[in-house]
Chain A
Amino acid sequence: MFTQSQLDAVDSAIIAHLIESGVDHVIFMDMAGNTIAKHHNGKSRLDATAFAALAAGNFAAVDAMAKLVGESEFSLLFHKGEKSSIHFSKVNEDTLLITMFNKDISLGLVRLKVAETVNDINHILDAK
C-alpha cells in the first residue's frame, strides 16, 4: 500500500514531467488493472477505469509473448493512431505508466519525459 506522501510525490512527478509537457492523459496503475493515479489536461474525456483494465490485459499479453520468444520482457509498448497515440512503460514489477498524447507532441519527447517520470516514481517508491 502506498502512503499519502508517496502518492503526493507521484502526482507531482506526473504533472511536472508529463502533463506540463502537453500530454493528454496519464494513468499510473498496477498490473491487476487498478488505477493508482490519473491525470489529464482537461481537454478530452477518457473512461480511465475500463482503459486501465484493458491496458493491464494488453501489457500482460505482450509480456507473455516476450517470454515465448525468449525475452525476459518488452518493457516498452507504443500504439500509434491518427490523432492520438498511447505509450506504455513498465515502472517496476507491479506497476505501469500509461501516457496518451496527440500529434502535437513528438514520441521522442514523450519517451524522454516518461523515462524521467519512471525514474522519479521508482525513487519515490523505494524511499519507503
Chain B
Amino acid sequence: MALINVKTREVQIKIVYYGPGRGGKTTNLEYINTKYRDQIKTEMVSLKTQDDRTLFFDFLPFDVGQIKGFDVTIQLYTVPGQVKYNATRRLVLRGVDGIVFVADVQKEQRRKNIESLNQLYENLETYSLDLFKLPLVMQYNKIDLKNSGIEILPTQILQKDLNSVLKAPAFEASAVSGGNVIPTLKKIITLTLSSIQDQLF
C-alpha cells in the first residue's frame, strides 16, 4: 500500500516488475536508470549473483513531481525470476501498489510465462491482494529477437495465454534497446496513481 506522509507531504509508491527468469526485468530498470539519470538522485541498487542474475531485487527510486501538493516518489523493484527464488519474490511483493508483468516472447518460454503469472497470483494472495484488482501492465519483451531469426510467440497468443481474463494494457517491447520501456512505465504510473487518488483526499 502506498505510503502517504501528511507531515512531510510525500507519497511513496511501490511498483514491482515481475516475470520469468531472464525475461528482461532488470534490463527495463537499467534502461530507465540511464534514460532518466538526471531525475534520479540515487544509484540503482542491484542484489545479484556472480553471474549477474538477480538474487533478491533491483531497486530504483525516482521523483515524478507533485500531485495535489504531495511530492511523489516512485520506487521500482524487480524480483528474481528463477523458479527456486519464490520465497524472495514473495517478500518483494509486500506493500506493492502496481505490477508490470514482463513476459518473454520466445516460443520456448511460453510455459514459463504462464507458470510465473499463476505464481504471481498465488503470491499476492498471501498478502490478501487480488491480481484482478491491482494496477497491472503486461509487457511482451524481446520482440526484437524475430530479426535474429529466433522463433517468437505472436502477440495474439500471448494475449490469449496471459491476458484474456486480466485484460490489462499490453505493450510489445524490446528492453535491451529501450523500445516501449518508457510507455510501459508511464502506463503503470498512471494506473497506480489513479488507483491511490482516493486515498489522497
Q: Which residues of A contact B (CB under 8 A)?
A: 1-4, 7-8, 11, 30-36, 47, 49-50, 53-54, 56-57, 60-61, 64
Within the complex, the shortest CB–CB distance from B147 to chain A, in Å, comes to: 36
Inter-subunit contact A2/B6 (CB<8 Å)? yes
Among B54-62, B102-110, B116-124, B154-162, which stretch is in contact with chain A? Answer: B54-62
Question: Taking the nearest CB of chain B, how far is it from the CB of A61, in angstroms?
Answer: 6
Segment at the interface with A among B26-34, B84-92, B135-143, B167-175: B84-92
User: Complex: how many Å from CA A36 to CA B3?
Assistant: 8
What are 22 A-B pairs with beta-carbon distances under 8 A?
A1-B199, A3-B6, A4-B6, A32-B3, A32-B14, A33-B75, A34-B3, A34-B12, A34-B14, A36-B5, A49-B42, A50-B42, A50-B61, A53-B45, A53-B77, A54-B47, A54-B59, A57-B91, A57-B92, A60-B91, A61-B88, A64-B87
Q: A56 to B131: give the CA distance in the assembly, Å.
A: 23
Q: Flag if A49 contacts B73 (CB, 8 Å).
A: yes
- Kindly state the interface size class of chain B when it binds its partner: 20 to 34
A sample of 17 more A-B contacts (CB under 8 A), given A34-B3, A57-B47, is A2-B5, A2-B6, A2-B7, A4-B6, A7-B6, A31-B95, A32-B95, A33-B59, A33-B95, A47-B43, A53-B45, A53-B57, A53-B59, A53-B77, A54-B47, A56-B94, A57-B56
Known: A7-B6, A50-B43, A53-B59. A30 touches B87 (CB 8 A): no
Residues of A within 8 A of B199 (CB): 1
Known A-B contacts A7-B6, A54-B45; the reply to A64 vs B94 at CB < 8 A is: no
**B199 (CB) vs chain A CBs: closest residue:** A1
Binding site for A on B (CB under 8 A): 1, 3-8, 12, 14, 42-43, 45, 47, 56-57, 59, 61, 73, 75, 77, 87-88, 91-92, 94-96, 199
B5 neighbours in A (Cβ, 8 Å): 2, 7, 36
Across-interface contacts of B3 in A (CB, < 8 A): 30, 32, 34, 36
Residues of B within 8 A of A32 (CB): 1, 3, 14, 94-96
CA–CA, A60 and B59, complex, Å: 16
Which residues from A are CB-within-8-Å of B91?
57, 60-61, 64
Measured CA separation A34–B15 after assembly (Å):
12
| Across-interface contacts of A47 in B (CB, < 8 A) | 42-43
Residues from chain B with a CB closer than 8 A to the CB of A34 are 3, 12, 14, 75, 95
Contacts of B1 in A (CB 8 A): 32
Bound CA–CA A53/B46 (angstroms): 11
Q: Is the Cβ of B42 less than 8 Å from the Cβ of A33? A: no
